[in-house]
Amino acid sequence: MRYLTFVLITAIAFSVVACGKSDAQKASDALSQGLQAHGAGRFDEAITAYRKVLTYDPQNKYAFYNLGQIDQVSGRPLPAENNYRLALSIDPDFAPALFNLGIIRANAGDVQSALQLYRHTIEVEPTAAGAHLNLGLLLRSLGQTTEGDVEVQRAIELNPSFGQPATPVPGSSATPTPTG
């Protein structure tokens, strides 16, 4: 009996080693690889890794979100929007996807959707300074100055750098030059 138990345990251990990592571990490893490549600006490599994540974990909101980010910074708003929407279909309260989708919708002129997305972002992440700022600026552009000012002020409270004047690049036309 002891020999049979040893053989069964050995067979189980061998099958675990032979099968390798679980799909969850493979997805996690691919996500780590994607994040590393993404952070280094190697977008093609990151895209490949994020797609690999989705083969092991088709419900991985982070892979969809990161694919959306790459599309967005690469000037591909439609694929970015699709990827953000896929992330949100998995987690409707995923604040980063809500926020970035708000930016895309605002840039597309869909002001009402952008307003809703920024408000939803703030609802799930009240300290999202960027969402407060974008909401405030959008409200101001619609003539809703009082509400817009409140949101801009809240953004500055959360991130004081939003209230600082932009520093011009030395030697640029924005730098004042003495006249004489």
Q: Which of 73, 70, 64 shows the shortest CA–CA distance to 97?
A: 64
Q: What is the C-alpha to C-alpha distance for residues 135 and 62, in angstroms, rounded to an integer?
A: 24
Residue 143's pLDDT is: 97
Q: What is the C-alpha to C-alpha distance for residues 136 and 143, in angstroms, rounded to an integer?
A: 11
Residue 174's pLDDT is: 45
Q: Which of 128, 85, 125 shows the shortest CA–CA distance to 104?
A: 85
Token pair, residue 180, equals 């004489």
- Tokens 């992440």 belong to 125
* Helix, strand, coil % in the chain, rounded to nearest 5: 75, 0, 25
> In 20-108, where does DSSP find H-type helix?
23-39, 43-56, 61-73, 77-90, 95-107
Q: What is the number of other CB atoms lying within 10 angstroms of the CB of residue 127?
A: 12
CB-based contacts of 7, cutoff 8 Å, min separation 6: none
Residue 164's pLDDT is: 87
Q: Which of 98, 92, 85, 90 shows the shortest CA–CA distance to 128?
A: 98
* Segment-wise mean pLDDT, segments of 10 residues, the chain, 180 residues: 39 46 94 96 97 98 98 98 98 98 98 98 98 98 97 97 78 44
Which backbone phi and psi does 11 adopt, to 5 degrees? -65, -40
* Whole-structure pTM value: 0.81
